[in-house]
Chains A and B, each alone.
Chain A
Amino acid sequence: MSNEPGIQRGDELLRVEKLSKSFMIGGGLFRKPVELKALQDISFSVRAGETLGIVGESGCGKSTLGRCILQLIRAEEGQVLWLGRDLGKLAGEDLRLLRGDLQVIFQDPLASLNPRMTVGEIIAEPLRALRPDLDAAERRERVLSMMSGMGLRPEMINRYPHEFSGGQAQRIGIARALITGPKLIVCDEPVSALDVSIQAQILNLLSEIRDRMGLTLIFISHNLSVVRHVSDRILVLYLGRIVELADSDALYDSPQHPYTRALLTAVPVPDPKKARQRNIDGLTGEIPSPINQPSGCTFRTRCRFAEDRCGKVRPALETLPDGRLVACHRWRELELAGGA
């Protein structure tokens, strides 16, 4: 279950370079398909032991990014480097054998479990595929110990997914992701389909496992408070582009990009006095269609601070003195204006 001896905490595990992915939508015999740019020019890296949060509104490409990392969807441009190897160039067996290192937890726990298989079969499935050296008894042994680690009773092993609640189903999903002893787990909105009371349980379970096994997580969510709870660094996506990437605390204390500010304003604050003191930067309008994106800065249509050049030139991703990345023409002025 432990990391390979070669990998130290803080080493670069995963590096995403200029990743772009677009989907062709519609189209027929006489109609041209339209291009939906789901991800554009995404670059970041993940170090061993850290948790990277990815946030954004629905449709911004969060899940696509997660699936591209796992090669469940193949990106057409850019690279996904796993310990220096380009996963996009691997195919067939080479890629399959690496899958034990990169696992995934899905949003809808029930939909991610095969309804015709028992819990024991579901959790044992990755072992079956990737550890042919284990016989059935050893597999069962590992499944049972993993189940008890997830708070699932051993007598549930022959039950079917539809007999479980959402929270229990997600525990099964987590058990399946952990059984091969992965190094990185992509959590694709792992709690957003669960009841609020269960969300906390699952989040605590995830943090506990991460600390105990020294896992690296990529945590995708649209819920900023959930992401803050678990992440070391946070990447904010808007219409398939990175708008801000910063340490978790820095991002929350002094968001630089107007979009990040707007998102933070949308997080409910329990104290009404504090809530009143906050700047009202709330988002207005709908997220533009990713098929027909605004020119220049894609956020300008909803940005309070937009000016002429925002429509003409797309802001580059700048590195700030404290190491964070922001894609905005006006971050300096906004900072002076007392955004923080």
Chain B
Amino acid sequence: MLTDRRIGNLAHPAPAPIEEASAPEKGRSLWMDAARRFRRNRAALVSLAMLILIVLFTFVGPLLARWDIETIDWTVVGSVLTKGMPSFETGHYFGTDEVGRDLYSRVIQGTQVSLTVGIVGSVIAVIVGTFYGAVAGYFGGRLDSVMMRFVDILYSIPYMFILILLLIIFGRSFIMLFVGIGLISWLGMARVVRGQTMALKNREFVEAAIAGGAKPLTVVFRHIVPNLLGVVAVYATLLIPEMILLESFISFLGLGVQEPNTSLGALISEGAQTMQYGTIWQLAFPLIFFVLLLFSFFFVGDGLRDALDPKDR
């Protein structure tokens, strides 16, 4: 049996390498390998498609809307349960909220806000966290101690408390929300990146770069950071839903973005309050978008991790 197989293998050797052209061939970078592995992961691909669809919907959807986010439909006010149902006739595809505003437009707007908050938080984390963590991890010693203790201190402050205070003192606005989320989102990233940097800086290719005369910052940004980006990409993708959750929680508490603007968290909060009157669509539509968004990001993040770090599977 075993010999049979071996002979079979000999009879069908691996396909011979394609004739080398004299022009420089294109190498297969690790990123291309990762992309190939990602494409084989069905859950991640479906989630990515779902994300793209949701994002497209938030841009295309408003063109189909017959109501904007703040106009009150006076015909349904007072009888939302009977007249404010999802219906094509009235133009309220997702029904109306408790005060008669179009839920379709509001869900689209809420999704956009939630996505923006998640992505902004994540981008801040990537830029600040990567830079901060890589510098602390590479230079080590006292600089590292000071930088990381600062992170520890920020971590130990109950951020929800600070965020609520910020929003109360400076008023509720997008800017304040981004400032608050930006302040905390990079902390975890900085720690992850620092740990990875410390593992990488003792690798031989880093020593080789130093021996080759590279300046310290060149070593960090040309040799260490590119090798961290896999971890950073995964962490950033998983951070987006975390930020969305955080924002939703703040909005659920009644802080967060200001009326008439809304976010998925605020919509869910309103929907949950009116659930007992039977207007279940007010909870269902924002919740469906919320859940789809979170699941998609988590699956994409998982797929990225598997694709970028095949050893860990």
Contacts and interface: CB of A to CB of B under 8 A. Distances in A.
Contacts of B213: 96-97, 99-100, 126, 129-130, 180
Contact of B25 (A70, A102, A158): A158
Contact of A156 (B25, B29, B210): B25
The CB with the most chain A CB atoms within 10 A, among B22, B25, B26, is that of B25
B20 A126 contact: no
A155 B21 CA distance: 8
Contacts of A106: 204, 207-208
Contacts of A112: 204-205, 207-208
B6 interface: no
Nearest to A106: B204
B211 A160 contact: no
A146 to B, nearest CB: 13
Contacts of A176: 208, 212
A245 interface: no
A33 to B, nearest CB: 15
A159 to B, nearest CB: 4
Interface stretch (A6-14, A114-122, A254-262): A114-122
A334 interface: no
Interface residues of A, number: 39
A176 B222 CA distance: 16
Query: Chain B, interface size: which category?
Result: 20 to 34
A144 B35 CA distance: 30
B162 to A, nearest CB: 30
Interface string A136-174: 000000000000000001111111101100000000010
Contacts of A70: 211
B25 A155 contact: yes
A69 to B, nearest CB: 11
Interface in B71-118: none
B20 A155 contact: yes
Contact of B24 (A100, A155, A163): A155
A153 B222 CA distance: 25
A17 interface: no
A154 B23 CA distance: 8
A160 B29 contact: yes
B204 A72 contact: no
Interface in B202-235: 203-205, 207-215, 218, 222-223, 226-227
Among A67, A116, A173, max chain B CB count under 10 A is at A116
A111 interface: yes
Contact of B211 (A103, A114, A155, A158): A103
A113 interface: yes
Contacts of B21: 155
A104 interface: yes
B30 interface: yes
Interface in A37-74: 67, 70, 72
Contact of A114 (B26, B205, B210): B205
A116 B29 contact: yes
Contacts of A97: 213
Contacts of A155: 20-25
A104 B210 CA distance: 10
A82 to B, nearest CB: 14
Given A155-B21, A155-B25, A159-B27, A115 B208 contact: no
B245 to A, nearest CB: 33
A173 B204 CA distance: 11
A125 interface: yes
Given A155-B20, A162-B30, A111 B218 contact: no
A39 to B, nearest CB: 18
A179 B205 CA distance: 16
Given A116-B227, A160-B30, A96 B205 contact: no
A96 B215 contact: yes
> Which of A102, A118, A160, A180 has most chain B Cβ within 10 Å?
A160
A133 to B, nearest CB: 14
Interface in B9-29: 20-29
Q: Chain A CB within 10 Å — which of B21, B204, B210, B213 has the most?
A: B213
A150 to B, nearest CB: 16
Contact of B227 (A115, A130, A162): A115
Contacts of A281: none
Interface hub of A67, A112, A153, A156 (most chain B Cβ within 10 A): A112
A116 B209 contact: no
B7 to A, nearest CB: 26
A177 to B, nearest CB: 8
Contacts of A130: 212-213
Contacts of B212: 99, 103, 125-126, 129-130, 176, 180
Contacts of A247: none
A129 B218 contact: yes
Contacts of B214: 125-126, 129
A156 B210 CA distance: 25
A160 B223 CA distance: 14
Nearest to A109: B204
A99 B29 CA distance: 29
B135 to A, nearest CB: 17
A127 B167 CA distance: 53
Given A96-B213, A116-B226, A160-B30, A108 B23 contact: no
Interface of B: 20-30, 203-205, 207-215, 218, 222-223, 226-227
16 contacts: A106-B204, A112-B204, A113-B205, A114-B223, A115-B205, A115-B227, A118-B29, A125-B214, A126-B212, A129-B214, A129-B215, A158-B27, A160-B27, A176-B208, A176-B212, A180-B212
Q: Which 4 A-B pairs have the closest CB atoms?
A: A159-B27, A126-B212, A129-B213, A112-B204
